[in-house]
Structure 1
Amino acid sequence: MSEEIRGTATHQQLISLLTAQRAKYRVVEHEPVGKCEAVSEIRGTDLGQGAKALVCKVKGNGVKKHILAILAADQHADLAQLASHFGGLKASLASPVEVDNLTACVFGAIPPFSFHPDLTLVADPLLFERFDEIAFNAGLLEKSVIMDTHDYLRIARPELVTFRKV
């Protein structure tokens, strides 16, 4: 399946979920941009509102787990904290093949929702403490969603884990 078709399927699944759950959201169409700073400017949102999605793998101590780790786009991930939270020794970013298999999206287009049973969703709480809305690419590099923070938490139900660098 081509990247465009797969990303479109993820986008449609996301929009269907948000609509069915009566979320307060809007879709913004824009040029395909992969950098957080540039896309936040195009969206007209603060960089800290951006929900950066990292597909990670945690290994060691008998742990082998894939994590969809969400944090504010103006922060950096501390993967050692993430590994420790899950009882592993090491965490790293997943390979492009793993990202494709687990999200059906290209890097930069992954929404902060897990639609795969083997992809555990966690989010750093800072993302939800500063703004009433969060923003993220919605399965496609050229489409973003800006949505109510409380609706995101209600619908996605991420495990809240502090894993940003201090």
Structure 2
Amino acid sequence: MEMSFVEQNDILQLIETMFSQMVKQVFPGKIISRSPWPRLSHHEAIKKYGSDKPDLRKDKNDPNELAFAWIIDFPLFTKQSKEDFYYGSGQAKFAPSHHMFTAPHPDDVPLLDKNPLKVRGLQHDLVLNGYEVGGGSIRIHDPKIQEKVFELIGFTDKQKQQFHHMLEAFTYGVPPHGGIAPGIDRLLMVLFNEPNLREVMAFPAISSGQTAVMEAPSSATPEQLQELHLKIGGHKIKFGGKTVYEKIVNLLKDNNVVYKTYTHEPVFTSKQAAKIRGTSLQQGAKALVMIADKKPIMLVLSGATKVNSKKFKQNFKIKDLRMATAEEVEEITGLKIGSIPPFGNIFELKTFVDKKLGQNQEITFNTGSHTQSAKMFYKDFVKLVKPQIGAFVA
């Protein structure tokens, strides 16, 4: 929600009226404990409750009590730390606590020159029962103040130039403007007394990053790529012009291995894959790229099981083990999570197989995309990959 010629109080009052009416109309069994809603400064909230998201309910066990509150007067700046983008520039001592376009409180503008850490920002957070369910601010519309903020956070002249168009526009008279972005999913989570945000999201994402409902994002079909005049390169270069799928198929053919391939709808989980292949969940060879003692490795296990990190570290003398991020997986294999084949050897990854996978005479797996799979005998897989076999599932 964005508005022109607006002050902070206008935004707070509008949202309070809208949400109060919404609760009354849609959730008549809920009771708003205090009206008008309390407004606490950030300093007061931290000092009194130890949090800028305090739960102000009178009875925290009452699922129908709603305690809305506003947190205002946040500090405009914090001391710059190593995590800040401009750390080490040598020019900046401060970082924006919200973002660099939040307007300072009018009474505190003189402090921009004297003591920036004392400047309050016109930022507002909406809190409900201990959760932040909305946030916004009044934006800077004065070019001199915006330039001063750029200076305080360490902008170089070159970086300021990137916003020259905005600063120039400000000189022609930009209306004061501000707004707020209510977090509808988080608001519904509290209203429905759900323990997890996923329960109220319209399109929750699974571990691979895709939405279970829409199966998106998914791989582009050859027809779609042709329509867009795009050609996918990437991992073909590593395999001498071949795709991962072609590399695997050639490997199987060259070793006279009996196998079967599938082309199907996009799948992103072991359960989806088993269903569409018409095979058991236990047969699925789930390949996970992990980082073990700072080196990438591959773990292969049955789709019906989960990794027991503690057991793996004990059995294979590993000190540190974590899942590779989606970005790391793509960098290491050239592939998306959920499409990784269990052939760690073609990616030059040391491969570990859980012994429970060997209880299957045949295994199935993705072959480098979400739409292609293969089936082969487990004994042939072991001969080709030569993995270390052990016990590391829960």
Q: TM-score range with shorter-chain normalisation?
A: 0.7 to 0.9
State the 1:96 CA deviation: 1.7
Structure with bigger gyration radius: 2
1:26 is aligned to: 260
Which amino acid is the alignment partner of residue 255 of structure 2? Answer: Q
Matched, 1:16 2:250: yes
> How many angstroms apart in 2 are the aligned matches of 1:148 and 1:112?
13
Which amino acid is the alignment partner of residue 143 of structure 1? Answer: Q
> How many angstroms apart in 2 are the aligned matches of 1:44 and 1:18?
22
**1:71-125 residue CA offsets vs partner (Å, 9 max, x unmatched):** 00000101122223342222110122221122221101100002123x2111001
- Matched residues, percent identical? 29
Please report the TM-score for the alignment, with normalisation by the length of structure 2. 0.38
Q: RMSD between aligned alpha carbons? A: 1.8
Q: Is the 8 A contact 1:79 1:90 kept in 2?
A: no
Which amino acid is the alignment partner of residue 382 of structure 2? Answer: L
- The DSSP-based 3-state class of the residue aligned with 1:105 is coil
Q: Is the 8 A contact 2:234 2:334 kept in 1?
A: no
Q: Is the 8 A contact 2:284 2:365 kept in 1?
A: yes
1:45 to 272, 279, 282: 279
- The DSSP-based 3-state class of the residue aligned with 2:347 is coil
1:110 is aligned to: 340
2:317 is aligned to: 87
The list of structure 1 runs, each at least 4 consecutive aligned residues, that deviate by more than 3 angstroms after superposition, is: 2-8
Q: Is the 8 A contact 2:284 2:364 kept in 1?
A: yes
State the 1:153 CA deviation: 1.1
- CA 4–76 in structure 1, closer or farther in 2 if over 3 Å, else same: farther
**1:13-69 residue CA offsets vs partner (Å, 9 max, x unmatched):** 11111111111111011001101111101101000000001101112xxxx322100
- CA 3–73 in structure 1, closer or farther in 2 if over 3 Å, else same: farther
Which amino acid is the alignment partner of residue 147 of structure 1? Answer: M
Matched, 1:54 2:288: yes
Q: Is the 8 A contact 1:57 1:92 kept in 2?
A: yes
- CA 3–77 in structure 1, closer or farther in 2 if over 3 Å, else same: farther
Q: What runs of 5+ residues in structure 1 fail to find an aligned partner?
A: none
Q: Is the 8 A contact 2:269 2:338 kept in 1?
A: yes
Counting strand residues as a fraction of each chain, which structure ranks higher? 1
Matched, 1:120 2:354: no
2:299 to 28, 45, 69: 69
Q: Is the 8 A contact 1:70 1:124 kept in 2?
A: yes
The alignment of Structure 1 onto Structure 2 pairs a total of residues equal to: 158
State the 1:160 CA deviation: 0.2
